[in-house]
Amino acid sequence: MDRKWYRSKYKELYDQVEEILFRHDPEGLNYGFNTDEYAPETCTIISRLKEAISELDVRRIVLEEFIRWFSEEIVNPQNPAYDAISIEIWEAWTQYSQKNK
């Protein structure tokens, strides 16, 4: 995934998704200075948001992508951070979609 391409194409949505992942930090990567730590996941999540018709779909996508990047042994689907992430990404995606029809 080309981060520069995604940032260029999706601009505000890209920044919002990356910030949401970093703030909720479901995999404990936030050390306060490494704000691009979730860049690969941001790209692959955004690439799949067109599949989503609800926040539950977003949750599934987010979990599938985190498992892809981190493995099933590391990702805990019961982590409540994934619920908050899904709600916020769904809101950001909905707003983005409305602006860019």
- Whole-number Å distance between alpha carbons of 15 and 38: 11
pLDDT score at 33: 60
The count of structural domains within the chain is 1
Spatial CB neighbours of 98, under 8 Å, sequence gap ≥ 6: none
pLDDT score at 73: 93
Which residue range(s) make up the domain with 14?
3-99
Q: What is the CATH number of the domain that holds 80?
A: 1.10.340
DSSP letters of 17-77?
A: HHHHHHHH-TTS---SS-TTTTHHHHHHHHHHGGG-SSHHHHHHHHHHHHHHHH-TTT--T
> pTM of the predicted model, to two decimals?
0.91
Overall average pLDDT of the 49-61 stretch = 97
pLDDT in tens, 4-13: 888 889 999 9
